[in-house]
Amino acid sequence: AVAEVIRLQRRIFARQRRLIEASEARKSPGFGRYRNEYLRAVSGYLAESGFGALCDAVAGARVAYVADYHTHRLAQKTLVTLVRAVQQQTDNIVIATEFVSRRHQTELDRFLAGRVSEATFLRRIRYREQWPYDIWPNFRQLFDLAAEQGLPMAAIDADSGLPLPERDRLAAEVIARAAVENPDATIVV
């Protein structure tokens, strides 16, 4: 059953990729390079695992990296399900997200605290300029979970014009700082 689910996910991924590539509004010079690096990184997997084993591994990790396909709603829904399940084992979770640029951490904190409206938050983080697709509805549930549960979120994205290794380095700095500031937390990236 797990193998069949993986085959189905790969077919869905391929279909989504074709749809996105066909409608891509902004083709930056670095996007092709980024996509090729990404595809190399996710071209295989080490072993099949069940959801319970995944939750155990995440709960036992200091930092857990969870890949998602930004435009695929099920990816974010699965992340929310995973975080809720991991909360059964540890209540100290920090969520690090690419959705928000690190320079907008203050706006993210204000939004999670309920001090600014959703519309104000999205305007201040320049959502429409940053994301060529309307993916906020996919991500809203993750932000709602963080706000409801009081889970801190760390904004890790950087200027999309930077080379991917530099963006990764900057994200790693934010994740490392979150680890130092939350020494007992599981950081879900």
- pLDDT tens digits in sequence order for the chain, 189 residues long: 778 888 888 888 888 878 777 765 556 666 677 777 777 877 777 777 889 999 999 999 999 999 887 777 888 999 999 999 999 999 899 999 999 999 999 999 999 999 999 999 999 999 999 888 899 999 999 999 999 999 999 999 988 788 888 999 999 999 999 999 999 999 999
pTM of the model: 0.79
The Cα 141–Cα 157 span in angstroms is 19
Please say whether the beta carbons of 164 and 34 come within 8 A: yes
What's the CA gap between 167 and 183, in Å, rounded?
Answer: 24
**Single-letter code of the amino acid located at 94:** V
> For 7-24, what is the HEC assignment?
HHHHHHHHHHHHHHHHHC
Q: What is the pLDDT of residue 71?
A: 73
Given this model, what pLDDT does residue 23 score? 65
Residue labelled with tokens 């983080």? 125
What are the tokens at 98?
A: 């690419």
* Chain center to CA of 51: 18
